[in-house]
Amino acid sequence: MSDRTPSVLIIGAGLAGLTAAATLAWRGLRPLLVERHASTSQHPRARSVNFRSMELLRLMGLEDELVAAGGNSMQDFKIVIAESVTGREIKTILPRGAWDTAPFSPARASGAGQDRIEPILRRYAEEHGAQIRVSTELVSLSEDEDGVEALIRDRLSGAEERIRADYVVAADGNRSLVRNLLGIGLNGQGTLSHNMAVVFSADDLPLSQQGMVLYYLQNPGFTGVYISPDLDGRALVSVEYDPARESREDFTKARCVALIRAALGADQVEPRIIEVIAWEMASQVANRFGTRRVFLAGDAAHTMPPTGGLGGQTAIQDGFDIAWKLAMVLKGEAGSDLLATYAQERQPVGERTVALQTATYAARMRPDRKDLGGENAEADYFGVAFGYRYRSAAILQDGPDDCASSENPMQPSGRPGTRAAHLVLETDGKLVSTLDLIQSGFALLVGPQAQGFEKAGRELAMELPVSVYRIGTDLIECEASFTANFGVGPQGAVLLRPDGFIAWRSVGAVEDATDVLTQALARVLCRPIDRQLLNGVGFDRVGLDRPHLGELQRGAA
């Protein structure tokens, strides 16, 4: 047994844990991640990276690789409720060509599965200094005022090691040991259904040349889903079953073949069964997202039906959120109270997302479950998935709070707590997005006549992790107006956080821009800022010539 002291210990190598590890490593830290399994996911589940998640991952330069890993363009994606793939269509949820995010995001979506996303995140994290140890499980965990002590065990050798860390990110799944050790309970519906997923390949599948399709199947024989093949030719049919009457052993090869043919509505197909996996669909959220030094992320914090595709996205966004905040605290750029904003912001998002996915399950698969509130699921989807708002100590509201939980991302308000509008801007002959200006940390965007805020920002940028850009000189508007989309005048200013959310804005000029901006940054960073005493945190501004910034000209997919 030996003692080690990483700044951050991450439990679990799923989407949340690996995103946290990659983000921390990108920000210059060296976290230790332990995963009880021998590898990352081997199953083609969670098959998407939506544009909001990609906006975060593209900051690390991962967009091209993730898009390529998905194969088919997401513009060809189709979602349908039907009796079978070739049978009567009940309702089209998403027609082909509707998944065009170019007007409101610089990012392209990807149809990659979790088994392809996780290795990309793992490789990036390790290349940038993270240590990842597989076949290693958590045994115990204790927290004190100064840190967290964990006992981990190598599952192959049985050797145990005691780890001392400043903070822990618990991304250890829906049966989270960390959550149980902390005594954190769950709220929600609990188990909704038991399911059997059949992974298979076959020649001449219906619609095989028409891009990615997702069919929700409602027929007298079963309730389930069909997902078209991935790049490895693996398709999936998943059906609900009653565990009181059936078990995994009842799903023989012959029965699985019959289920696949029924789902496809094609008796001539000869499927090759790859794997049969029993899984449980649940709807629940942790009643706390952690403690002062331990933070729940991903399925450890919230478990939701896959209907709607937001489980993996919420995990990625959890991992990124806690990681950028930990990085700033550990590097001395922000006060430790910033970490409390993780739960303040992400728990309401988790609760709303679980409620939406549960309602979407009822609407798309179980219309008989009136208790799950599926009536407005599709109408609520866009705002909850992409337009959610934050309220926390790191968000400075600039007027009366309308208490809305989301806004339409295609009609941005520019209010603090909302995702910044995507505007295409030109700098040195290159096109960039407002959402790409946060690579180095915070970004202060000032209006074309905001000389006071520009001067104050550039002074503070010598000491704090803030990049300053003036519209009209540093950045040239191409089409959309900065002032109109951010709700400020030409003398106003907007402060963007490292996650692309608006932390603060000033609609117009103020008498003492330096004082106003200093106070705003002090509140957002949860730390006092005395400009007479600052020794200079210092940071390196990442240039705008990063390769992935040139992708705007391609449009979103």
Q: Could you tell me the CATH number of the domain that includes residue 223?
A: 3.30.9.10
Q: Which distant-in-sequence residues (6+ apart) come within 8 Å of 547 by Cβ?
A: 61
Query: Would you state the pLDDT for residue 208?
Result: 62
485 inside domain: yes
260 inside domain: yes
Query: Among 247, 264, 282, where does a domain finish?
Result: 282
| Domain of residue 458, residue span | 424-554
Residue entry with tokens 């967290």: 148
For residue 284, what are the β-bridge partners? 188, 303
The string of pLDDT tens digits covering residues 248-265 is: 999 999 999 999 999 999
Question: What is the pLDDT averaged over residues 531-547?
Answer: 43
164 inside domain: no
Which of 77, 72, 74, 61 has the alpha carbon at shortest distance from 108?
74
Query: Would you state the pLDDT for residue 368?
Result: 87
Query: Would you state the pLDDT for residue 158?
Result: 97
Question: What is the pLDDT averaged over residues 371-394?
Answer: 86
Average pLDDT for the chain: 91
372 inside domain: no
Query: Among 228, 250, 282, where does a domain finish?
Result: 282
Query: Would you state the pLDDT for residue 42?
Result: 73
State the catalytic residue, choosing from 216, 226, 390, 469.
216
Query: Would you state the pLDDT for residue 75?
Result: 72
The whole-angstrom separation of Cα 382 and Cα 539 is: 36
**Higher pLDDT, residue 81 or 205:** 81
The whole-angstrom separation of Cα 187 and Cα 122 is: 31
Q: Could you tell me the CATH number of the domain that includes residue 503?
A: 3.40.30.120
440 inside domain: yes
Query: Would you state the pLDDT for residue 59?
Result: 97
Query: Would you state the pLDDT for residue 204?
Result: 81
The answer to whether the beta carbons of residues 307 and 245 sit under 8 Å apart is no
Compute the CA torsion angle 413, 416, 418, 419 (nearest 10 deg): 100
Query: Among 241, 261, 282, where does a domain finish?
Result: 282
Tell me the pLDDT band of 96, cut-offs 50, 70 and 90: confident
The whole-angstrom separation of Cα 169 and Cα 322 is: 8
Residue by residue, DSSP assigns 500-540 as SBEEEEESS--S-HHHHHHHHHHHHTTS---TTT------P
501 inside domain: yes
Active site includes 216? yes
- 333's tokens: 């750029």
291 inside domain: no
**Count: domains in the chain:** 2
What are the φ and ψ backbone dihedral angles of 6, each rounded to 5 degrees?
-80, 155
The whole-angstrom separation of Cα 384 and Cα 353 is: 7
The string of pLDDT tens digits covering residues 289-313 is: 999 999 999 999 999 999 989 999 9
Query: Would you state the pLDDT for residue 3?
Result: 58
- pTM score of the predicted model: 0.94
Query: Would you state the pLDDT for residue 552?
Result: 58
The whole-angstrom separation of Cα 45 and Cα 191 is: 19
The string of pLDDT tens digits covering residues 413-426 is: 999 999 999 999 99
The whole-angstrom separation of Cα 126 and Cα 118 is: 12
Kindly calculate the radius of gyration of the chain based on its CA atoms and give it in whole angstroms: 24
Query: Would you state the pLDDT for residue 531?
Result: 64
The string of pLDDT tens digits covering residues 151-182 is: 999 999 999 999 999 999 999 999 999 999 99
The string of pLDDT tens digits covering residues 495-514 is: 999 999 999 999 999 999 99
Asked whether residue 537 carries a pLDDT value surpassing 50, the answer given is no
Query: Would you state the pLDDT for residue 541?
Result: 41
- Residues above pLDDT 90, as percent of the chain: 77
101 inside domain: no
